[in-house]
Every structure is written in structure tokens, then in C-alpha cells.
Structure 1
């Protein structure tokens, strides 16, 4: 059992050192950047469910706005695609009786 704990400790030390040296920085930076706002949303929801409505709402709103800012690079193009598809469906939906 002791050897298993030593192996886990060594793996954690190596991963931590690699993170500090920046080898995994692009991957972990993006994941942490998305996980933190999601964590805030979950904590805000949990606070609201536990009866702390004001602080829960503030934390939830801050998390939602942070997540929206982090995902803005994909929200804009998706909104553009949705508008084009909606416009095409409006054009095809018109029936001409001429």
C-alpha cells in the first residue's frame, strides 16, 4: 500500500513540475480557464439551493458572464451560422402565388 502512495506522489510531482515548466500550459490553461467559471456557476446554484439567494445569484452571474467571455470566440460564429440558416428558412418558407 505504501508503494502505491509513493507512485501517486511521484506522478503528481512530475505533472506539477511539467505544468510549472509550461510543457502542458496551453492545454491546462484552457481547461482551467473553462473549469473555473463552470465551478462558479455550480457554486452559485448550490448557494441558491441552500437559501443564500443573494450571494448565490452574484456568484452564478459572475460565473455565467465569465464563461460567456471565455466562449465568445465560438459564440459569434455560431450566432452568424444560426442567422444565415434562419434567413434561408424564411426565404424558402415564402410561397409565391404568381
Structure 2
């Protein structure tokens, strides 16, 4: 197989995706403990939504934004796994498209 720019990019994307995925999968032994950590930011988002619906938009939006940022930070591991899987799939699709042309 001849290496060109697309083949090198595909191999690099697959490599980085596998590296990210391997580093993130090792942290699944604390699932029960981390589920409780989602309760507080979800409660903040829910209370903020209720505040917005009941006419207290300022405090509601503050709670939604702070709870959303905390929740985003807690979901960053899952987001990294999704990005890693996306890199792997896109890399394989580049390999597949290269063989057609």
C-alpha cells in the first residue's frame, strides 16, 4: 500500500482515537460513585429551569449556566470517548474512500 497524505492522516486519526479511548476506558471502575456526582449539577439545572418558568429569569439562568458548566465538566470523559470513536470511524472511512479511487 502506497502512503500518501490521506493515508497518513487516516492512520494518525485512528492512532489518536485509540490512544484517547484506551486512556478513558481505564476509569470505569468508579461508576457508582460518579453517578452521585451528577445529581447536584442536574438539580441546579432543574431548579434554574423552574426559576425561569416561574418568572425569576435572572437567578434561573445563573443556576442553569453554573449547573450546565459543572455537568459539562463531569461529562468531559464521555465527550472525549465520543471524539475518540469519531476519529477512529473517520479514519477508517478515509481508508475506505481511498480504495475506491
Give the TM-score, by structure 1 length: 0.56
Question: Higher relative contact order at CA 8 Å, sep ≥6: structure 1 or structure 2?
Answer: 2
Distance 2:53 2:40 in 1: 20
Pick the structure with greater CA Rg. Answer: 1
Residue in 1 aligned with 2:49?
A: 45
Q: Which moved more, 1:29-38 or 1:57-66?
A: 29-38
How far is 1:80 from its partner?
Answer: 2.7
Aligned residues: 71
Q: CA RMSD in A?
A: 2.5
Q: Which runs of 4 or more aligned residues in structure 1 lie more than 4 Å from their structure 2 counterparts after TM superposition?
A: 86-96
Distance 1:33 1:52 in 2: 26
Give the TM-score, by structure 2 length: 0.54
Q: Which runs of 5+ in 2 are unaligned?
A: 1-29
